[in-house]
Amino acid sequence: MADYQLIVIGAGPGGYEAALRAAKLGKRVAVVERREAGGTCLNRGCIPTKTLLHASAIYRDAKNGAHCGIHTEDIHADMAEIFAYKRAVSQKLSAGIESLFKTAKIDLLRGTALITGSGCVRVTDADGSANDYTCDDILIATGSVPSRPPIPGLELAMTSDELLEGCDHLYRSIAIIGGGVIGIEFATFYADLGCAVTVIEGMDRLLPNMDKELGQNLALILKKQGVKVFTNAMVQRVEQAGEDLAVHFTCKEKEETVSSEAVLCAIGRRAYCDGLFADGVGVEMNGRSIAVNANFETSLPRVYAIGDVSSKIQLAHVATAQGIACVERLCGVQDHTDLSVVPSCIYCRPEIAVVGLTEAEAKEKGIPVKVGKHVMFGNAKTVIADPGRCFMKLVAHAETRELIGAQLMCEHASDMIGGVAQALANHLTAEQFCRAMRPHPSFEEAMTAALEDLCERLG
């Protein structure tokens, strides 16, 4: 008999949730992890960045509270304490996962995994000792790592992993290469704390993969917060300039240079499967990602892959949903999550959250659409918080009236997008989703206003 029925490689959100679900369905499960339980999300990604943003928001609100009668003197941000707080949160959550493993009788195998064949995994620990394990099925959930393109001098820049290791002081200035999700969240954190921030994005707007208005509006808000934003800017090289680093780039055919104490490279992430397969063993690849079919099967029999290592969409909740779906299908259980409806959030100020298609994407697909929109100038909670220009935009099929997309840019957008995702997954029309009563005062009231505008436009 095999040692395990399932070995999961990687204890990130995809891996640990898949393992827990498999154990609940009666399988003997082991998880291989060479670092902390929780993977990138809990230790070098989602949770650490949100913890830092929570801390910086407290600082910013306290420092700028005079308009509502809150006066503070001698306020300062202690970076060592902020990063200690970040570590404590991650460690608490990571320990919680290990506790769940023990309760579910899942073996956590500490070390680096090597797939030596179908149903065969070698685990090498930190001391170099190796143990071979057999199993019925293998689930690869090794995630992704930051990309560092071949730009001269870019080795002088930090990646998000390196930045999150912590520093003992607040940078007086930082240049961020990349205006996507990672770059924008770090720009928000450092701008909150008074650091001079420059964002350099190669495309024509920030958040180039999202609705055009989101990136344009965000650029205006960041500039009001003191952030310098360059778009259509291609970095040529990074070099040492005294105590600072100089980033040389072209912007609108003009040579530009920005000098700063630190440089962050935030140009995306790549699938991580380095050293995962033994010589003579491998799987079909899709570029740098592992190729899988609709059931998450790789080309190697009884070896599966989920999450960032194989998915086009690199989000923790996508990895979780795929991991659970994969395990349920293995166990002959019907999975219920609609994997085509994927909400996505950016924790800038105000927050951004999207799901489904934008108006432009729908038109590219030949789908006739109508768009409802509400700018939240009169929303009471928005007036109180004063986060800048906020809006909600909803997209519906012009003929069926079914909701097919939403773009929110407002406070607590990340907490509301799940409800919209439910509407899309259940194929609700604009009228059906508008029917729900929403509380007052709340940011969500604007959803009703945007839906009413959409219904009017649908006629």
Reported as type and span, the H/E element at residue 140 is strand 130-140
At position 262, the amino acid (one-letter code) is A
Q: What whole-number distance in Å separates Cα of residue 370 and Cα of residue 287?
A: 36
For residue 118, which amino acid is it?
A: S
- Residue written as tokens 């950016």? 346
Place of tokens 């208005």: 213
Is 315 in contact with 307 (CB distance < 8 Å)?
no
Catalytic annotation present for 54: no
Cβ atoms 298, 284 nearer than 8 A: yes
Q: Token digits for 258?
A: 């920005």
Helix (H/G/I), strand (E/B), else coil: 299: coil
Measuring CA to CA, which residue among 142, 133, 143 is closest to residue 28? 133
Rounded Cα–Cα distance for residues 10 and 121 (Å): 13
Distance CA 48, CA 39 (A): 12
Query: 146 Cβ partners below 8 Å, 6+ apart?
Result: 159, 160, 161, 265, 266, 268, 269, 270
Rounded Cα distance, 412 and 282, in Å:
44
Distance of alpha carbon 396 from alpha carbon 407, whole angstroms: 12
Cα distances from 135 to residues 6, 105, 193, 353, in angstroms, run 6, 16, 50, 40
252 half-sphere exposure, CB direction, 13 A CA radius: 4
8 Å CB contact between 351 and 409:
yes
Crossing angle for the helix pair 79-103 and 13-24, nearest 10 degrees?
A: 20
Q: Sign of torsion, CA 83 87 92 97?
A: positive
Strands 352-356 and 344-346: antiparallel
Q: What three-state secondary structure class fits 398? A: coil
Catalytic residue among 67, 71, 336, 440: 440
Look at strands 4-9 and 29-33 and give their pairing: parallel
Query: What span, in angstroms and rounded, lies between the C-alpha atoms of 458 and 402?
Result: 10
Instruction: Give me the active site residues, please.
Output: 440
